[in-house]
Amino acid sequence: MPDARSFLILHGWQGSGPLHWQTWLAETLGLAGEDVRYPQLPDPDTPRLRRWLTVARGILEELPGERIVLCHSLGCILWLRHAADATPDQRADRVLLVAPPAPWAELPGVSGFFPVDTTAEHVERAASSTRLVCAADDPYCPEGADAVYAAPLALATDLIPGGAHLNTDAGYGPWPSVLDWCRTGAAPLAGNA
């Protein structure tokens, strides 16, 4: 087994469900003997930033070895808000942000996540490496997350053609490319054909 590492997977608004790539990834990594934390964040249908931050930071501070964080949708916003005032013991080694919603996306019941006032310097301090994966046709970010987040935050970005919100509805249950990224940091990430 490689040097010690651990994974924190952060779901988005309303959770991810049993067929989502995050659930598949947690199970696949776990079966391979990896240390994986995939918490059900409080009140996923009506999330509150402070409650989600408390849970995520508590887990992050306990992770051994290389810390690898994977976020989907509102989980990306959670990470970006965390990055704005993260302490050194809350730092990650690698972060993958997948399909963050735009600040003006309609997410009923969501409180405190927007606006995102995180800077590129915050992102750099919160993790050694942060990568964005998104699609131009994401209904939760029709302007394109590459324009809304990647450009202002200086994020390396993989644009997935036809990937929509990169969730179960878009065909993202098993996602071999994200598994490769977890294991080796391989980039760019590819979509599912």
For residue 189, being part of any structural domain is answered with no
For residue 191, being part of any structural domain is answered with no
What domain range is 149 assigned to?
5-184
For residue 190, being part of any structural domain is answered with no
What pLDDT was estimated at residue 3? 67
For residue 193, being part of any structural domain is answered with no
For residue 94, being part of any structural domain is answered with yes
What pLDDT was estimated at residue 54? 97
What pLDDT was estimated at residue 164? 97
What pLDDT was estimated at residue 1? 41
For residue 33, being part of any structural domain is answered with yes
Tokens of 8: 């924190």
Domain holding 34: CATH number?
A: 3.40.50.1820
- pLDDT tens across the length of the chain (193 residues): 446 999 999 999 999 999 999 999 999 999 999 999 999 999 999 999 999 999 999 999 999 999 999 999 999 999 999 999 999 999 999 999 999 999 999 899 999 999 999 999 999 999 999 999 999 999 999 999 999 999 999 999 999 999 999 999 999 999 999 999 999 999 999 999 6
Give the pTM: 0.96
pLDDT, one tens digit per residue, over 10-23 is 999 999 999 999 99
Q: Give the total number of structural domains in the chain.
A: 1
Closest alpha carbon to 104 in 114, 112, 96: 114
For residue 151, being part of any structural domain is answered with yes
* Ordered strands of the 35-37 beta sheet: 35-37, 5-10, 66-72, 92-98, 127-134, 156-159
How far is Cα 12 from Cα 74, in angstroms, rounded to an integer?
A: 4
For residue 87, being part of any structural domain is answered with yes
